[in-house]
Amino acid sequence: MTTATTRFAIQPVAAATLPIAQSTLLFPVHRVYCVGRNYADHAIEMGGDPNREPPFFFQKNPDNLFAGDSFPYPSASNDVHHEIEMVVALKGGGVDIPVADALDCVWGYAVGLDMTRRDLQAMAKELARPWEVAKAFEQSAPCSPLVAAEKIGHPSRGAIRLDVNGERRQAGDLDQMIWKVPEMISYLSGLFRLAPGDVIMTGTPAGVGPVSRGDVLHGRVDGVGGLDVMVV
Ligand code: MN
Q: What is the 3-state secondary structure (H, E, C) of 38-94?
A: CEHHHHHHCCCCCCCCCCCEEEECHHHEECCCEECCCCCCCCEEECEEEEEEECCCE
How far apart CA 147 and CA 91 sit, in angstroms, is 13
Report CA Rg, the chain: 17
Distance 4 CA to ligand 1 centre (A): 39
**Segment 32-47 mean pLDDT:** 90
**Segment 171-186 mean pLDDT:** 97
| Complete DSSP assignment for 148-172 | EHHHH----SSEEEEEETTEEEEEE
Distance 1 CA to ligand 1 centre (A): 32
- Say what percent of the chain tops pLDDT 70: 99
Q: Of 199, 32, 54, 10, nearest to 131 (Cα)?
A: 32
**Segment 14-19 mean pLDDT:** 96
The pLDDT value recorded for residue 180 is 96
- Over the stretch 140-162, which tens digit does the pLDDT of each residue have? 999 999 999 999 999 999 999 99
Neighbours of ion ligand 1 (CB under 5 A): 83, 114, 204
The pLDDT value recorded for residue 184 is 97
Distance 165 CA to ligand 1 centre (A): 21
**Bridge partner residues of 167 (DSSP):** 164
Distance 205 CA to ligand 1 centre (A): 9
- Over the stretch 86-115, which tens digit does the pLDDT of each residue have? 999 999 999 999 999 999 999 999 999 999
Distance 189 CA to ligand 1 centre (A): 19
Query: Does residue 204 carry a pLDDT above 80?
Result: yes
How far apart CA 101 and CA 232 sit, in angstroms, is 42
pTM: 0.96
Measured on CA atoms in the order 145, 29, 200, 212, is the torsion positive or negative?
Answer: positive
The pLDDT value recorded for residue 45 is 85
The pLDDT value recorded for residue 2 is 65
Distance 114 CA to ligand 1 centre (A): 5
The pLDDT value recorded for residue 51 is 75
The pLDDT value recorded for residue 1 is 60
The pLDDT value recorded for residue 44 is 84
Query: Does residue 50 carry a pLDDT above 90?
Result: no
